[in-house]
Amino acid sequence: MEHRSARPSADAAGTWTLGDLTVNRMGLGAMRLTGSGAFHDGTPSDRDRAVAVLRRAVHEFGVNHIDTAAFYFSSLRSANELINRALAPYPDDLVITTKVWPGRDPSGQWWWARPEQLRGQVEENIRQLGLEHLDVVNLRVPPSRRDGSIAEHFGALARLREAGLVRHLGISNATAAQLAEARAVAPVVCVQNAYGLGAADTRDRELLRVCGESGIAFVPFFAIAGKRREAGAGGSGTEDGTEDEAVRAVARAHGATPAQVRLAWTLRQGPHVLAIPGTGDPDHLAENVAAGSLRLTDDETARLDPPVARD
């Protein structure tokens, strides 16, 4: 069993740069701050608890990278407004990343923005967060466009960057071809895709490699739960449970939880990989941040890596 300090620190896994912004590789995803359903259904979160999680993450554990979106809201809670209430005025080193293209009306119904509507989505994020501009904005590609062009939408974001509303750009739920298309329009500092132990295929790993060679951050979401929707810290296993025993064995060897092992595996995929696990639970927050100091051996990593899924 390895020793880890009683107070975890987000800098234990090292740092990476998003353009000219340096962040700790262990960050925080804001989606689950809004409640059990996260997207309008389910039980709204306790406001004071959500605020406490954010403050503890930033002020106690040194988290300086938070991932959010204006469409992260439940019936009574908005992730952006919780962040604003908890952390404004913001620390100088805090980087807030958000995403656009999807939107939700007040009833929770989804809609997808046209290129000319992206400015309104950017401005809504700025208003909710109480900022003058956004640090990083990811263009979140809809499932129906995974094999299509994103040039028109990304070009609209590039113009907002030139206008000073956005500092840096990224893409999300994208392919290697879309990354190349976006980079021909404007610099890309990050790619945010679903990626996790037991949920990576050949295309995922190729995109991970391309990002590393290009100095672009690769930011997996749903890293704890694999192909299932992320259940927050403490979740373990994959959709079919085939890796569970290997994960549990490594967890026992380190005196860690399965969720921590999955996060450690994620961070081991490369120095350019950032983690943004989401939770609304203060204890799970501490467990997630502590995973940044968990070091897997080559043998353990080989045992955990499943066969690569072929297309």
Q: How do the pLDDT tens digits run along the chain, 311 residues long?
A: 454 556 899 999 999 999 999 999 999 999 999 986 666 566 888 999 999 999 999 999 999 999 999 999 998 999 999 999 999 999 999 999 999 999 999 889 999 999 999 999 999 999 999 999 999 999 999 999 988 999 999 999 999 999 999 999 999 999 999 999 999 999 999 999 999 998 777 889 999 999 999 999 999 998 886 554 443 333 333 444 444 799 999 999 999 999 999 999 999 999 999 999 999 999 999 999 999 999 999 999 999 986 555 55
| pTM score, whole prediction | 0.91
Domain boundaries defined on the chain: 21-192
> HEC string of 11-32?
HHHCEEEECCEEEECECEECHH
Cβ(72)–Cβ(38) below 8 Å: yes
Amino acid at 71: F
Looking at domain 21-192, does it have CATH number 3.40.50.880?
A: no
Give the tens place of pLDDT for each residue, 215-270. Answer: 999 999 988 865 544 433 333 334 444 447 999 999 999 999 999 999 999 999 99
Burial 214-240 (b: 16+ CB within 10 A, else e): eebbbbbbbbbbbebebbbbbbbbbee
Please choose, from the candidates 245, 243, 259, the residue with its C-alpha nearest in 3D space to the C-alpha of residue 294. 259
Catalytic residue (one of 72, 195, 218, 265): 72
Contact between residue 97 and residue 136 where contact means Cβ atoms under 8 Å apart? yes
CA 224/CA 33 separation, integer angstroms: 16
Residue 203 to residue 284: CA distance in whole angstroms: 31
Sequence-ordered strand ranges (E) for the chain = 15-18, 21-24, 28-29, 65-67, 95-100, 102-104, 110-112, 134-140, 166-172, 190-192, 217-218
DSSP 59: I
Structure tokens of 132? 């003058």
What the block records as the tokens of 27 is 């960050």
| Catalytic annotation present for 72 | yes
